[in-house]
Structure 1
Amino acid sequence: MKMLPMLFRSLGAALLLTGGVAQGRPAGPATPALWSVSDDDTTIYLFGTVHVMKPGIDWFAGDVKRAFDRSDELVLEIIEPDDPGAMGATMGTMALPKDGVKLSDRLTPEARAKYQAAMTANGLPWQTFDMFNPWMSGMALSVAPLAKLGYQNDLGSEKILRTAAQSAGKKIDALETVDQQIGFFAQLPMEQQIQFLNATVDGLPDMEKEFGDLLRYWQAGQPDRLAKSMNESLEATPELAQVLLTGRNANWAKWIKARLEQPGVVFIAVGAGHLAGKGSVQEQLHAIGLRTERLKKVRP
C-alpha cells in the first residue's frame, strides 16, 4: 500500500528506524506545496510533511520557512512523547489480541510463508511479533526497510518543525493524541488488519521506487502526482481509507473551521497524503464552506 508508510511514522512505527546515514550525493533543494485558509483576523497555513527523509534535502526554507516564521503556533498530527519507550509501550499494549490467537495462525499458509520471510529479511523477529495483532507487524514492515535505504526519522519534517518551534518559543498543539492514532489501527476489524499486513508484504519489492517517487513529487511541489502515488491503493479498500484518511481529514477540517474563530497565525503540518487527492483536507474544507489557496509567494 503506497500511502501507508507516510501515516505510520505519525503512529509511532518510526521508533523502529535505526537512522542509518544515506550514501551518495545530497538530494538537493525542495519546494513543497503550501496552502492557506484565512478570514479577517486569522491565517492558517497547511503544509504536507514527509515523516522520514535522507540527508541533504533543503526544504525548510523559502515560502515554507517564511510561513512558519510568521506563525504564532505549530499544530502537528500528534505530539510524540519525549520518551520513545512510552510510545512503544502504548503500541505493544494496544496490539495484544483479546482472543489469544497467534498472528501466524491468522494467515493462510502461503501468506504466512511470505510474511515470515519478509520479517526475517528485514531483521524483525516474527516469532516475537506472533503475540501481537497483524497491524503491528504491518507497521513495522512499512518502515524497517526505509532505514536500510538511508531514510532517517530524525530528518523528518515534524522533528525539524517541532525543534524550530521550541527554539522560537511558539505554542505547539496537536490534532490527535498518540492513543487516538494508534487506535485507528488497533480498532480495525481483523479482516482489514490481515488485508493490510498482506498488502504491505506484497508491496515490499516496490518500496524503494515508490517512496523515492513520492519524495520527488513532494520536493517538486506536485501534490496531484503525490496523491496518485500515495492514495491509489486505498481506493480498493474504502473502509480502510475512511478510517485512516478521509475520516480524519474531515475531523481536521472541522478543527480548522473552529480555529478560524480565534485570531492569529497557525502553521499546520500533517502527512502530505492528507493534503492531496480525493477526500483531502482541502476538499473537506470546501465541503463546509471554506476556501483554501495554494500559495506561490509568502511575504516575510
Structure 2
Amino acid sequence: PAPLLYEIASADGSVEGWMVGTIHALPAFVKWRTPAIEKAVTSADLLVVEIAALGDGADIARTFAALATSPDLPPLSERLPPALRPRLAELLERGDFTAREFAATETWAAALTLARIDAAGDPANGVDRALIAEFTGRRVRELEGAAAQLALFDRLPEAQQRAMLAAVVEESAAAARDPERLQRAWLAGDAKAIEASTREGVLADPAVREVLLTARNRRWAAALAPLLAEAPRPLIAVGAAHLVGPEGVPALLEAQGYRLRRIP
C-alpha cells in the first residue's frame, strides 16, 4: 500500500504538518497503514477531517432525511432521459429497491443512494473514521461537517442533480463489473488514475465538479493556511480526489508558499 501522503513544510523547510488522502469505504481486510502514515499519526498534534462526527450515524441519517425529502416530486424515471430508464430499472432491482421508495426523495439524494448499490467496501472501515479513532484524546477539527456537506448537494440546481443521477445510472454497469477500481488506485497512490476519476461520472458535469470538488478545495486551502502557521502540527485527512491535479489542495497550498513532499 502507498496511499497519497504529503509532508507540508514552510518556505524555510520547517515541517508544519502532514496530509493524507482518504477513502470513505473499504472492505475490512484491506491493509492500508504504512509506516509513514503511522509516523504521521504519532507525530501530529491534531487531526483535520471533512466530518468529525462520523460515529454519530443516527444524527447524520436524520440530517440526510431532512434535506433529502420533498413532496410532489416526479417519478424517478421521469428525471432521467428515456434511454437510461431501463438501466435504472436494472439498478433498482440489483439494489432491492422499488421506484416507489424514491417518490419523495430529491434527485441528488436518490443519486447518492443508488451509487452505494455497486460500491465496494463499508463506510465503517473508512480511513477517516479509523483516523478519528486514533486521535482519541487529541483534538479533531472538521472542515465542513455533515450538515454543510450534504447541503452542497441539496443546493445544486435540479438540472445538476439530474446530471448526477444520470451519471450514476449510466456508470452502474461498469461499476458492477469492477467495483474495486478506485480502491486499487487509492491503495496504490496512483495520482493520475485518481485525477482522471475527478473528471468522470458525477464529476464529469463542470457545474457539479465546481461545487463538489474545486470550490471546496479553494475553501479548504484558505482555511488550512492559517492553521498550518500555528504551533500545533496537523494531520489533514480528506478524500484523495481533493489531493490531485493543479486544482488540488496540495497545489493550492504550494501557491501560498508551502512546500509539499510526497512521502512513499
Decide whether the 8 Å contact of 1:35 with 1:47 is kept in 2: yes
Q: Structure 1 residue 32 and structure 2 residue 3: aligned?
A: yes
Match of 2:128 among 155, 158, 175: 158
1:214 and 1:230 in contact (8 A); partners too: no
Residue of structure 1 aligned with 2:249, choices 268, 281, 291: 281
Partner residue, 1:216: 184
Shift of 1:208: 4.3
Gaps of at least 5 residues in structure 1 are 1-29
Q: Which of 69, 76, 83 matches 1:96?
A: 69
Note the C-alpha offset of 1:292: 1.7
CA contact 1:175–1:252 (8 Å) conserved in 2: yes
Q: CA deviation at 1:183?
A: 0.7
Q: Deviations over 1:183-213 (max 9, x none)?
A: 1110100011011101101101111455422
Aligned match for 1:144, one of 104, 117, 120: 117
Q: Residue in 1 aligned with 2:98?
A: 125
Q: Which amino acid aligns with 2:124?
A: D
Q: TM-score, normalised by structure 2?
A: 0.90
Q: Does 1:186 align with 2:154?
A: yes
C-alpha displacement of 1:87: 1.3
Residue number among 196, 202, 218 corresponding to 2:164 in the alignment = 196
Residues 55 and 101 (structure 1), Cα distance of their counterparts in 2 relative to 1, 3 Å cut: closer
Aligned to 2:62, what secondary structure does the other structure show? helix
2:26 corresponds to: 53
Aligned-pair identity in percent equals 26
What amino acid maps onto 1:258 in structure 2?
P
Structure 1 window deviating more from structure 2 (232-241 vs 132-141): it is: 232-241
Deviates further, 109-118 or 137-146 = 109-118
Secondary structure of 2:16's counterpart equals strand
Runs (5+) with no aligned partner, structure 2: none
Q: 1:253 aligns with which of 198, 221, 227?
A: 221
How many residues are aligned here? 261
Equivalent residues of 2:163, 2:202 under 8 A apart: no
Q: Which amino acid aligns with 1:165?
A: F
Contact 2:54 2:129 in 1 (8 A): no
User: How far is the alpha carbon of 1:221 from its aligned partner?
Assistant: 2.3
**1:76–1:173 contact (8 Å) kept in structure 2:** yes
> 1:197 is aligned with what amino acid?
L
| Cα distance between partner residues in 1 of 2:84 and 2:187 | 36
CA displacement, residues 189-241 of structure 1 (integer Å, 9 cap, x when unaligned): 00110111011011011114554222222222221222223434467411111
Q: Secondary structure at the match of 1:173?
A: strand
SS of 1:163's partner is helix
* Change in CA separation of 1:282 and 1:262 when aligned onto 2, cut-off 3 Å: same
Per-residue deviation at 1:71? 0.6
Question: How far off its partner does 1:254 sit?
Answer: 0.7
Matched letter for residue 156 of structure 1: G
Instruction: Mark the CA change 1:125 to 1:80 in structure 2 (over 3 Å): closer, same or farther.
Output: farther
One-letter amino acid of the structure 1 residue matched with residue 230 of structure 2: Q
When residues 211 and 93 of structure 1 are mapped into structure 2, their CA distance, relative to the original with a 3 A threshold, is: same
Q: Please state how far the C-alpha of 1:143 moved relative to its aligned partner.
A: 1.2
SS in structure 2 at match of 1:85: helix
TM-score by length of 1: 0.80
Specify the SS of the correspondent of 2:214: helix
Q: Distance in 2 between matches of 1:119 and 1:235?
A: 22
